[in-house]
Structure 1
Amino acid sequence: MKQLKTEIIAVGTELLLGQIANTNAQWLSQQLASVGINVYHHLVVGDNLQRVETVFRQAHTRSDVVIVTGGLGPTDDDLTREAFQAMSSMDIEEHSPSMEKITAFFEKRGSTMTPNNRKQARVFRGATVLNNKTGMAPGMIVSFEGRTWVFLPGVPREMKNLASESVFPYLQGLLGEKQIIKSMVLKFVGIGESQLEHELYDLIQKQDNPTIAPLAQDSGVVIRLTARHSSEIEADKLLDVTKQKVEERLSSYMLGINEQTIEQQIMELLQSTGKNVSAAESLTGGMFADKLVSIPGASDTFKGSIVCYATNVKRDVLGVSQEVMKKNGTVSQACAEQMAEKVSNLLDSSYGISFTGVAGPRVVENQQPGTVFVSIYDRENNRHETREYHLLGDRDTVRHRATLKGLEFLYLYIKSTVE
């Protein structure tokens, strides 16, 4: 299959300053993948003529197709045309239909058109001009030295319309045949990225179609499988075959695919076993409960959470003994275990899970920031399981990661009792 090495360049200082997000590049990459076109580079460059020209020259040396968004407006800092002309020496001319459209726009509004608006109708001689139905500046497709350059407005609505109606069909014509790129994300818990990569080393080394890419994320480790084929059905078959090979080796760590979350899997496990869970949250302050109640039907399996941040709430509401807290501290395995057991009994749940620890920035009870205890109480078996974690990050990060660790711990515990 023919390949088109494609690059996306966004022009605009506002993107570099973080004033707006570069959603154009994200959307373009997603859409191009769906028609079998690989994007190899994303670049953002500010409104500076020399820097834009430098980026254009670099792209021209390595990509078959370069898609540029932004810099086609009427103001002095809209420099996309000027930068490409400096590189290519191509002539620029006024496109009469676009100029007529711009003039008509101002006449209809009854306002005076400033001279700089004529700039928006300027196009490269010989370019395929793309009619902008939702804005003023037209898009352009330009062939130069064996490369295809696509120029699109930076306004997302205008860019998407031009790309969908004109650019994608044009690029598919260059391919000669339709290609489909499909991806599948496999999610894992209880295994690190390095161990996962070790278990799949030979598959990764031999990868071709589909490709296998391990990725580490806050919520766990994932593998992205990406297949390419002219047929969507065949691309799906390629993904399924590789998924089965991965599952054969890592089934005990497999969580789900694509959009499936660990919260959903916990709820499904609880529903299938007719059990439920409640939480006692000190460190996490309700974050764990928030994760579970975001799942439709959570009331069937989640009894509730007691946020027991203060010591007296642990004692007076949960019923954690003063002796335990005095002897071991509130940031301890003993306190975590009592919290889990007490909330299970109070809320009449099959499992109780508790969170206590030090989010930071100060040391508490001689425990360093990031020290976290998560405990599970299995009421049916009168059994405690507790884990101690030492998490890195600022206060919010520690709380967030503690919540994720608790979800992972609970999922693996319930799963082990079912198997």
Structure 2
Amino acid sequence: MNAEIIAVGSELLLGQIANTNAQFLSKNLAELGVNVFYHTVVGDNPHRLKEAMKIAEERSDLLIFTGGLGPTKDDLTKETIANHLGKELVFDQKALFSIQQYFERTNRDMTENNKKQALVLEGSQVLANDHGMAPGMFLSRNKNHYMLLPGPPKEMQPMFLLYGHPALQAKLTNKEVILSRVLRFFGIGESLLETKIEDLIDEQTNPTIAPLAGDGEVTLRITCKHHSLTAAETLIKETEKKIFERVGTYFYGYDDTTLVKELTKKLQEKGLTIAAAESLTGGMFQQEITSITGAGKIFHGGIVCYTNDVKQHILHVKESTINQDGVVSEKCAKELAENVAKLLNSSIGISFTGVAGPEELEGKPVGTVHIGIAREGKPTEVETLLLAGSREANRKRTVNYGHYFLLKALEE
């Protein structure tokens, strides 16, 4: 079965809200073995919606609509579909009773237009709305299937999972599953990674391999279609093993994880604590690590040492280091990492010093970065980078590199 998701709402076209419904539905349809080849967004206009439907009916078996089921005049989805399919709209008594009960519970007057939400396409399977008012619908005509879902994600998602998913499953004759796994890499560019696995991509059939560029990182999505979930998992693991043989050094996690999540997890597993001394990053490392649940167990604190005075008098960087080597130096990064760990009684100290831009500092070019990592019982390491990009991009990438270098050090 091939599906098309049609999101209805002018607010989507105006950029006022993001179309997260399509993302949710695509992921869940893949698990059913349903291909999603098109996402369409249409404003609150019956003529354009009807035109979009005609196109979708020619190229897709399943049309899923989100939005436009509410009580206002611009909620025209089911009216337009009813007109297009030659169907009547009839009241679903269960939905109408539920709407009336809601207004009674909240001690509010029910206006006439709210009854409109209980109208459904004649002959359709009604999908109950346990978290709102407007029910969904599912019906088939000739070769096409139509599913209508509400726009608010808090209503749409549970409705699809509880009622839409089983309705589709009952229609599927080919019980295949589509399984995907995302591999995340850092420290290697997209072009180099692709070059190293080019033959695997060229030879792909099932599973398929799709490179995706991210924010300073690269991801590979492996997708397999099979009648057996176990067989699909085995095929993905085999492909994953071949990839790791080429670029496994740069791998850090799966699916929706992030560098900072993996770092926090690793620190918790090892029972380690960390403190940070930040110059050019200005507290960004501390902000990211404290955004993760459970950070209080591993993060002791940090010092934003933007000036030389703070580096010298708070973090005790030697005056000779500042005068002879400069603050943008491996020696300064080393002392910052070691001293912040001691000051804040942490098993690990990490430091960031460098030139974010837009001008040189101490004769060092923009993008020069030193990251110090001091660990108990280990020699202090300093990683040096030369980044290219805007001031903000350099700061962000520096923090990501800090996560990555520390994560790799802890995995040794």
Q: TM-score scaled to structure 1, two decimals? A: 0.80
**1:105-120 alignment runs, 5 A limit:** 105=101, 108=104, 113-120=110-117
Aligned-pair CA distance for 1:241: 1.9
Residue in structure 2 matching 1:390, options 373, 384, 387: 387
> Is 2:188 aligned against 1:197?
no
Quick check: 1:32–1:39 contact (8 Å CA) kept in 2?
yes
Whether the aligned pair in 2 keeps the contact of 1:90 and 1:125 (CA below 8 Å) is no
Instruction: Specify the alignment match of 2:144 in structure 1.
Output: 147
Secondary structure of 2:314's partner? helix
CA drift at 1:298: 7.7
Q: 3-state SS of the aligned residue for 2:230?
A: helix
Does 1:253 pair with 2:254?
no
Hey, what does 2:311 align to over in structure 1?
Answer: 314
Does the alignment pair 1:35 with 2:28?
A: no
Contact 2:370 2:385 in 1 (8 A): yes
Q: Mark the CA change 1:142 to 1:347 in structure 2 (over 3 Å): closer, same or farther.
A: closer
Alpha carbons 2:92, 2:120 under 8 Å: kept: no
Distance apart, 1:112 and its partner CA: 5.9
Shift in alpha-carbon separation, 1:131–1:308, aligned structure 2, 3 A: closer
Alignment map for 1:7-406 (pairs within 5 Å): 7-85=4-82, 88=84, 90-95=86-91, 97=93, 101=97, 104-105=100-101, 108=104, 113-132=110-129, 134-218=131-215, 220-258=217-255, 262-263=259-260, 278-289=275-286, 291=288, 294=292, 296=294, 305-327=302-324, 329-343=326-340, 352-360=349-357, 364-365=361-362, 370-376=367-373, 385-393=382-390, 395=392, 397-406=393-402
- Quick check: 2:372–2:380 contact (8 Å CA) kept in 1? no
Q: Distance in 1 between matches of 2:26 and 2:293?
A: 30
- Give structure 1 stretches of 5+ with no counterpart: none
CA distance in 1, matches of 2:267, 2:135: 56
**Distance (whole Å) between structure 2 residues aligned to residue 168 and residue 303 of structure 1:** 46
Alpha-carbon distance between aligned partners in 2 of 1:103 and 1:354, rounded to the nearest angstrom: 58
Aligned equivalents of 1:43 and 1:390: distance in 2? 39
How far apart, in 2, do the equivalents of 1:106 and 1:313 lie? 60
Q: 1:232 Cα shift?
A: 2.6
Normalised to the residue count of structure 2, the TM-score between the two structures is 0.81
Q: Is the contact made by 2:387 and 2:394 (CA closer than 8 Å) also made in structure 1?
A: no
Q: Deviations over 1:220-259 (max 9, x none)?
A: 3222222233333222222222222222223333323346
Q: For the structure 1 residues 264 and 26, does the alpha-carbon distance in structure 2 shift closer, same or farther, using more than 3 Å as the test? A: closer
The structure-2 alpha-carbon separation of the partners of 1:324 and 1:204, relative to structure 1 and needing over 3 Å to count, comes to same
Unaligned runs of 5+ in 2: none
Distance 1:15 1:54 in 2: 18
- 1:402 Cα deviation (Å)? 1.1
Report sequence identity in percent.
43
Distance in structure 2 (CA, Å) of the matches to 1:137 and 1:335: 63
Rounded to whole Å, the distance in 2 between the matches of 1:199 and 1:409 is 22
Q: How many residues align?
A: 410
CA displacement at 1:316 relative to structure 2: 1.0
2:253 aligns to what SS in structure 1? strand
Contact preservation (8 Å) 1:341, 1:379: no
The alignment status of 1:407 with 2:407, answered yes or no, reads no
CA distance 1:75–1:206, shift in 2 (3 Å): same
Secondary structure of the structure 1 residue equivalent to 2:395: helix
Q: Deviations over 1:382-414 (max 9, x none)?
A: 56533133242453x432221111222334455
CA distance in 1, matches of 2:179, 2:195: 25
Range 107-116 or range 174-183, more displaced: 107-116
